[in-house]
Structure formats: structure tokens, C-alpha cells
Amino acid sequence: MSSIRESALAPVPDRARPGRAPVSAAQACGVSVFPLLGAGLALAGIPVREVLLLLAGCGAIGAAVYAVGGGGRRLLEAFAAAVTAAARK
């Protein structure tokens, strides 16, 4: 005989506990498209400095959208972790 009741609910995952979330398709696409776009623009004759400025601006817009959408908490946590890691080195 099982100790699990038939009417028992399945456990709900605890989203508040720390851990890494799986990489989404949007993140994987963004990480792979940026270098390809930069290489394509550089091969098209645009100076590398302008390509880097364009991609940095796109990244800043993406980070701002992510911060607004997530309430800024995750972005601030990532920024704090990066600053802490840089300070240790």
C-alpha cells in the first residue's frame, strides 16, 4: 500500500530558492546573433568602432527592457555579482 493519498496535490516548485534558470531560446539566439551581426557589418565596410557602438547600444536597450520587465531585481543581482567577482580579482 502506498503512503501517497490519491487526492494529494503534486508539489509546487519553489521559485524563490536560488539556482540557475535554464537558458531560453531568446537568450541563446541573442548570444549567437550579436557576433554574427558584428562580423557581417564589419565585412560590409562599416568601421569596427561604429559596429561596437551599435551593438553596445542594442545591448543597453535589451538590458533596460529586461530591467523594466523584471522589476530590476534580477538585473541588479547580476550587476552586484559581477562587481563582487571583479573586486575579488
Give the 3-state secondary structure of 3-67.
CCCCCCCCCCCCCCCCCCCCCCHHHHHHHHHHHHHHHHHHHCCCCHHHHHHHHHHHHHHHHHHHH
Segment 16-64, tens digit of pLDDT: 556 666 777 877 787 788 889 889 999 999 999 999 899 888 888 877 7
Segment 59-72, tens digit of pLDDT: 888 777 777 777 67
CA distance 38 to 49: 10
CA distance 89 to 76: 20
CA distance 65 to 70: 8
